[in-house]
Amino acid sequence: MTARSAAAIVSLGLLAGSGACTSFYEIPIETPIQPKMDVSMFQRVLIAGFIGGGTDDVDANVETVRLLRSQLRSKSSLRVIDAEALHLTELAKDQVKTDPPPTPGGAADGQQVVPPLPPPTQAAENDPVKIRNEKDLEKYQSIFSDVAFWKKVGEEYQGPLIITGTVLFSPLATAGYVPVEREFFDQLGRRRVIQQRMYQERKGFTLQPKLIYIDGRTGATLYSETLREEILYPAQTNTPALSSYFELMDKLIPSFLNTLSMQKIRGTRVLVK
């Protein structure tokens, strides 16, 4: 018997004890959770695209756009705009290149003047952008605060709610002691399961999306949130990156949906006479 089932039995026993002199009725309830954002002024939503990074095995931008669109189509009242996903990494890279260098006047506010970096070589400019971690992502974050850019995107689609951001899907590896259940049969042939702690090497993935909600009429950011989930498997298990991505996204989707629409959490309570 596992500790969990033992706890359930003890709990039931206690409930029966406390309810011995009262009548009680278990009843299913659905608790409504209000959305985190008021989107009543929008009828349409554009999942514009994401700056993706981490691993090359999954195109985090394309997969996230596709998944969020399909979720919103079936679970939200907003009309989802079908448009090609923006390649924000390239756009942000261009923006970084064209940004004017800091003026010498910057030293007036007490900051040190940084000498300008040497111009990148032709080969470096043509390299595809490799984003491996949060630090790499930081360089491209400025695109999300570019109000004029988002206003222009919004004008193309008659001012919808724009959802964009960054998605980091990275491999993860750890080693340490983990609880495992070991099954054996005793002398009488009865099946027994014991809990043990075993040293195990594990690998998996972390998924860290930062979702940014932008008003397509003004280009201003309305709300943003960073979510994080990770999953680990024994090192010898060969789980495809894409299926891990969907497994992790499954855990994050309720929180994403709750930003835009009311969600109901099912549970039970006990009515008492």
Partner 1 sequence: MMVRALVVATALVAFAPATRASIAAEPSGGDARSDAKEQVEFGIKVAQNGLWKEATYRWERAVQIDPTYGAAWNNLAIAYEQQGNFDKAREAYEKAVTLEPKNLLFRQNYDLFKEINDRAKRRRDR
Q: Which of residues 208-227 bind partner 1 (CB under 8 A)?
A: 225-226
If the CB atoms of residues 25 and 185 are measured against partner 1, the closer one turns out to be 25
By CB under 8 A, which span of 28-36, 55-63, 82-90, 125-133 interacts with partner 1? 28-36
Establish if 75 lies at the interface with partner 1 (CB under 8 A): no
Residue 121: both structure tokens together? 């070589």
Establish if 273 lies at the interface with partner 1 (CB under 8 A): yes
Instruction: Using CB under 8 A, pick the residue from 15, 113, 114, 180 that binds partner 1.
Output: 15
Establish if 12 lies at the interface with partner 1 (CB under 8 A): no
Q: CA-CA distances (angstroms) from residue 212 to 8, 42, 91, 99, 250?
A: 42, 16, 17, 22, 19
Establish if 173 lies at the interface with partner 1 (CB under 8 A): no
Residue 91: both structure tokens together? 């756009």
* Least distance CB 151 / partner 1 (angstroms): 27
Contact at 8 Å (CB) between 273 and 23? yes
Site string for partner 1, 175-214 (x = CB under 8 A): ----------------------------------------
The conformation of residue 243, written as its DSSP 8-state character, comes to: H
The conformation of residue 81, written as its DSSP 8-state character, comes to: P
If the CB atoms of residues 107 and 265 are measured against partner 1, the closer one turns out to be 265
Kindly tell me the burial class for residue 65, based on how many C-beta atoms sit within 10 Å of its own C-beta (0-12, 13-18, 19 or more). Answer: buried
- Distance between CA atoms of 233 and 239, rounded to whole angstroms? 8
Establish if 255 lies at the interface with partner 1 (CB under 8 A): yes
